[in-house]
Structure 1
Amino acid sequence: MPLQTDLYASFSDQLSHLIGRAPNEKSSNTDRSNIDSSNTDSSNKNSSLLIVACSGGVDSTTLLHLAHRYCLEKEYRLAAAHVNHGVRELADRDEKFVRAQCDELDIPCLVANLAEANGAAPEPREGVLREHRYEALFKFVRQHQAMALLVAHHADDQFETVLWRLIRGTSLSGISGMRSLSVRQNVSIMRPLLEHAKSQIQAYADSHGLDYIVDETNQSEEYTRNALRHNVIPYLKGIQPQVLQAVTKFAQIAQEEDAWIEAKAEEVVKTCIKFEGNRAIVDISQLHTFTVPLQRRAIKILLYCLASMQWTFDHVDSILQLSHSKSPSARIELPSGLAAWRIYDAMIVAEQGTESFFARGDSSEPVSWALCDKSTILFPNDGSQFWQFYCERWRVPDTLSVSLNEAVIPDVAGIHIRTADTSERIQPLGMNGRKKLQDIFVDAKVPKQMRRVWPVVCVGREIVWVPGLLRTQARLVAAHETAGWKLTVTAPVLNWIAHSNPDADSE
């Protein structure tokens, strides 16, 4: 742990290191306003702006003082951001103090008064207040095109975080504590004091005669962190005087190993998970070829790609258990309006409303389509639009389709699209006999819920194509015919079936 007398030098080195690591795209984003709202040129003038989250306490006041020295030396711009929750009686006093500090340093002071903005103070719970605070701080960073948000977390805070997550229950990512550089909602968060003890920060404030305020709620043991801070941690320090250094070192090692697992899991994601908009399709057989820790981490990455909430081990484990379920159509619900369900060897994670198609028990009305070049039609025609068909001219010497999502038919005037009757018998292309549609669905691992609503394409009364599954022997293009129609279909369900049956796209 750095020596007390070297606090600024160590802070300066660490902040420079974090700035060098920060994502470059933050400073080049031009759709945010400047710190000076009267200046409409937002090209690159704020690429060197740092915003310090300042409550007025000793930690954030010391951070603001250090950052001010750094910005003067390195020619960066600086602003302070203060969030007034409106919960405590002395909240307005804190805001006034921070404004005065900024006036003294001649830097902008950005203040968010949540009670005024929302018409009422937020719920006075620790977790709720923290989320509101960060939302307001992130808004400032985006609004003013700042490079990063600086927060005053230190080694003692890290100790509390690791200890609290340990007794609450967490994963390797959680037990490794806070990162010196993290990105949340596309905002870079820097913690340049994370390796320094609270005592070092207090000593710096005292030696430089810094004024600061004391939050009276920091003494209340109604908050879990305060109970750890005032009772548990001092007791542990009495047993092991070097426990702070030990936990700091542990967090650093855990973060390095966690990063290694994350990189390996990203390779797993590329191998067995396919993203399509706001849904993910998991190849279960492929996923299970990897070790369980990598399976968990891949699922965690999947969840964060779909929704930016705080996903827990239980959420990840519930999806992992679903992947091992013996039921080929098992389903679970998740927070943020998501659901996960099985389709044989595929698993879908998507918005809960998107699987309503699978539960449909009715048959859609048939659709008649007068064919013309480069035309499109949707099926069913009730607004649900699960299948999209596209028609274009086919002429010799164009090749005949080998994809089951395409079909070439003779030059007929029109076709009909209707839902399948599973008792119907058809003659698949290349087969001598006839086969029931029910058996074709079973062989293709089409879930039962889909079979009654799966479309078939007919010319007259004959089924010529079961989209995504097979072309029939009916109405083939004859050798003497030089023109016809090429039909192509797209539908989310086809991707899901392809994952359940890798051979489904070839005849």
Structure 2
Amino acid sequence: MGNREDERLRFLRRTAAREKLWKNGDKIVVAVSGGPDSMALLHMLSQVAESEGISLVAAHANHGFRPESAEEAVVVQSFSERLGVECEQISLNMPAYIEETGMNGQEASRLRRYVFLHETAARHGAGVIALAHHADDQAETVMMRIIRGTGLGGLAAIAMKRTEKNVELIRPLLRMKKTDLLQYCSDYDIPYCLDGSNEKRDYFRNVVRLDVLPYLSQFNPQLPDSLWRLAELASSEDDWMDREAKRLFDELASFEPEGVALQAEALNGLHVALQRRLIKLILNYLSEEADSVTFDHIETIRAAAAPGARSTWRLDAGGGVRFLREYGRLSFIRPKQVGAGENGGYAYEVPAGATRIEVKEFGSVMMFAAEDVSAGRSPAPAGREEACFDIDKLKFPLVIRSRKPGDRMQILGLNGSKKVQDMFVDGKVPPSLRERYPLLCDAAGRLLWVPGIRRSGHALVERGKTKGVLRVRIEHE
């Protein structure tokens, strides 16, 4: 037994070192239900605690569902004392909580149990919570997700380590089999309690464990091992895909006042797997309900972004996020921003002598600079983001405002006027921006300039005649 004991504890240490489950000086809260898995975990950690430089606190939640729950609490307390480990316990009135919340029993119990574990960690200054999931749990979880339908992330199943509320959740036994843990309990005379509800077929997991896996194991006696290896492979590849998607997000996407945007061409240049992962990552950034996003949602977005698709799309992306394609621009709009600009316009007065007006609705600033050109110079705008006007032909105060129904402007170089709406279409201004796009007018209500698109024929600068010029520039924050 000595060699077997040494082998199992060495395996635990190797796993912890390879996966960086803890470090010297860590305090670990060990979730102990009273079953063989968690009792074995508590014992194993107690055996390596001194050499690993860690300290332990046992935590047991009595859910109050079964008559034997009180006995389990006593067993956990007694065993913790035998090991010299402090034990925290809580009695939960789960039937009342379930009636109050309407949650199912398993989910409600899990929620309350994790709250208790985090509270215990906070009280003891612990940065790690150890859970007793093992390789058989992993195999069951993979099979459950295959049956229900899943992707690569779902096949990764239970993570060896993850962060939740600034605490590391670790599963040191995830690569050990249930039979090994039962043998360990026998070898060390470790007491444990058996939960009779695990034999009932009321829960999907129990059906998978009791019926589905034994039946399929007829065709592959090593099925649990195969499922465990599948989870290992999926976890590594899922991690790589996540890292690559985050790198691409930083490279291709941009945060904007209304959400996140990127170019359709950039998305279409990626492998289809990374397209899906990047879309899901963006939705995760924008919504706490991104888990409700389906495969069909993501495929619809990919279709809308594809070459040859309509130049404008607007659809529900799932998770409370709206997706828009506007020419080559793809936008993912946060719920609180959907419809920005549709509940009323804006207007900013620009008095003579003003130098800077912030247009927060458009995320831009309009700069004004008066220039003396009496020496005969004829200044020209530096680009489409600038316009120059004869200052003496302007009627102040000028006004920066959003568009109004029927807005028209006398276009430089054209006879007659043109609708602002048509200019937006010609300039490929995304529909989501049109209600917030700033227009420059004078005090008489004449439209002077649609920044970046067209200038009116009013207040032209004339060589030899113009004495003062107002140079206007728009800058985007």
Tell whether the structures are fold-level matches, with TM greater than 0.5: yes
Q: Is the partner of 1:330 in helix, strand or coil?
A: strand
Tell me the distance in 1 between the aligned counterparts of 2:35 and 2:66: 15
Which of 312, 320, 324 in structure 1 is aligned with 2:302?
Answer: 320
Once the two structures are superposed, residues 386-438 of structure 1 have per-residue CA deviations (whole angstroms, 9 ceiling, x without a partner) of 235646664779x997576666767785321333355513436xx67765423
Moved more, 386-395 or 241-250: 386-395
**Equivalent residues of 2:94, 2:108 under 8 A apart:** no
3-state SS, counterpart of residue 182 of structure 2: helix
Following the alignment from structure 1 to structure 2, what is the Cα–Cα distance between the partners of residues 331 and 482? Answer: 49
Structure 2 CA distance, aligned partners of 1:482 and 1:369? 17
Using the alignment, how far apart are the partners of 1:254 and 1:202 within structure 2? 28
1:234 counterpart = 2:214: yes
1:356–1:67 distance in 2 versus 1, CA, 3 Å: same
* 8 Å Cα contact 2:349/2:398 also seen in 1: yes
Match of 1:297 in 2: 277
Aligned equivalent of 2:333, options 350, 359, 381: 350
* Partner secondary structure for residue 285 of structure 2: helix
In structure 1, C-alpha distance between the alignment counterparts of 2:407 and 2:143, rounded to whole Å: 62
Once the two structures are overlaid, the 10-residue window that deviates more, 221-230 or 53-62, is 53-62
Question: Aligned partners of 1:388, 1:282: CA distance in 2, in Å?
Answer: 17
Contact 2:347 2:402 in 1 (8 A): yes
8 Å CA contact retained: 2:161, 2:169: yes
Name the counterpart of 2:375: none
Corresponding residue for 2:245? Answer: 265
Residue equivalent to 2:349 = 368
List runs of 5+ in structure 2 lacking aligned partners. Answer: 373-378
Residue 149 of structure 1, CA deviation: 2.3
- Shifted more, 326-335 versus 226-235: the winner is 326-335
Report the counterpart of residue 163 of structure 1 in structure 2: 143
Residues 321 and 93 of structure 1, relative CA distance in 2, 3 Å threshold: farther
Match of 2:59 in 1: 81
Q: Which residue number in structure 2 is paired with residue 15 of structure 1?
A: 16
307, 331, 342: which is aligned to 2:315? 331
CA spacing shift, 1:290–1:222, aligned 2, 3 Å:
same
The CA distance in 2 between the partners of 1:47 and 1:350, in whole Å, is 45
TM-score, normalised to structure 1's length? 0.75
Alpha carbons of structure 1 residues 102 and 279: separation in structure 2 relative to 1, 3 Å: farther
Using the size of structure 2 for normalisation, the TM-score is 0.79
Residue 446, structure 1, aligned to residue 432, structure 2: no
Instruction: Work out the CA distance in 2 between the residues paired with 1:139 and 1:329.
Output: 47
Please give the alpha-carbon distance, in whole angstroms, between the structure 2 residues aligned to 1:490 and 1:409. Answer: 21
- 2:75 & 2:333 partners in 1: Cα distance? 47
Q: 1:103 to 1:340 in 2, by over 3 A?
A: farther
2:139–2:225 CA contact under 8 A, matched in 1: no
1:502 is aligned to none
Question: Per-residue deviation at 1:215?
Answer: 1.9
Contact 1:272 / 1:284 at 8 angstroms: preserved in 2? no
Matched-pair contact (CA < 8 Å) for 2:199–2:206: yes
| Alpha-carbon distance between aligned partners in 2 of 1:135 and 1:301, rounded to the nearest angstrom | 27
The answer to whether the 8 A contact 2:371-2:471 is kept is: no
Q: CA deviation at 1:202?
A: 0.8
Deviation, 1:467, is: 4.1
Q: How far apart, CA to CA, are the structure 1 residues paired with 2:385 and 2:123? A: 46
Go from structure 1 to structure 2 and tell me whether the alpha carbon gap of 1:320 and 1:118 turns closer, same or farther (over 3 Å shift): farther
Q: Aligned pair in 2 of structure 1 residues 174, 117: CA closer, same or farther (>3 Å)?
A: same
> In 1, distance between residues paired with 2:323 and 2:440?
31
Q: For 1:130 and 1:444, how far apart are their aligned partners in 2?
A: 55
User: Partner amino acid for 2:351?
Assistant: A
Counterpart code for 2:361: F
> Alpha carbons of 1:249 and 1:449: their partners in 2 closer, same or farther (altered >3 Å)?
closer
How far apart, CA to CA, are the structure 2 residues paired with 1:140 and 1:343?
A: 51
1:79-478 to structure 2, matched below 5 A, reads 79-111=57-89, 115=93, 123-138=103-118, 140-141=120-121, 145-276=125-256, 279-309=259-289, 310-311=291-292, 313-314=294-295, 315-324=297-306, 326=310, 328-332=312-316, 334-335=318-319, 337-357=320-340, 360=342, 364=345, 366-370=347-351, 376=357, 386-387=361-362, 390=365, 394=369, 414-420=397-403, 421-422=405-406, 424-427=408-411, 435-448=418-431, 451=434, 454-460=437-443, 461-467=445-451, 469-470=453-454, 472=456, 474-475=458-459
Judge conservation of contact 1:176–1:254 (CA < 8 Å) in 2. yes
Query: How far apart are residue 200 of structure 1 and its match?
Result: 0.4
Give the conservation status (yes or no) of the 8 Å contact 1:417–1:457: yes
Amino acid of the residue matched to residue 171 of structure 1? G
SS of the equivalent of 2:275 reads helix
Q: CA RMSD in A?
A: 3.9
Q: CA deviation at 1:194?
A: 1.3
Which amino acid in structure 2 is aligned with residue 68 of structure 1? S
Change (3 A) 1:114 1:47: farther
1:389 and 1:66 mapped to 2: Cα distance? 61
Q: 1:51 aligns with which of 29, 36, 41?
A: 29
Task: Tell me, in whole angstroms, the C-alpha distance in 1 between the residues paired with 2:91 and 2:387.
Answer: 62
Change (3 A) 1:145 1:482: farther
Residue aligned with 1:290, SS: coil
Larger Rg: 2
1:10 & 1:209 partners in 2: Cα distance? Answer: 20
Aligned-partner residue type, residue 445 of structure 1 = K
Please give the secondary structure, in 2, of the residue aligned with 1:356: coil
Q: Deviations over 1:271-312 (max 9, x none)?
A: 432234782223222211222111111112222223455355
Deviation at 1:210, TM superposition (A): 1.1
2:41 maps to amino acid: L
Helix, strand or coil for the counterpart of 2:313? Answer: coil
For the residues of structure 2 that align with 1:120 and 1:313, how far apart are their CA atoms?
Answer: 28
Change (3 A) 1:144 1:474: farther
Instruction: Output one character per residue of 1:89-116: Cα deviation in whole Å (capped at 9) or x when no partner.
Output: 5545444543444444343444565548
TM-fit CA distance, 1:48: 1.5
SS of structure 1 residue aligned to 2:20? helix
User: How far apart are residue 169 of structure 1 and its match?
Assistant: 0.4
Q: Provide the identity percentage.
A: 25
Amino acid at match of 1:236: L
The 3 A distance-change label for structure 1 pair 334 and 364 is same
Question: How far apart, CA to CA, are the structure 2 residues paired with 1:477 and 1:215?
Answer: 88
* Partner Cα separation in structure 2 for residue 125 and residue 462 of structure 1: 67
Shift of 1:319: 3.6
Deviates more, 1:206-215 or 1:364-373: 364-373
SS in structure 2 of the partner of residue 183 of structure 1: strand
How much has 1:157 moved relative to structure 2? 0.8
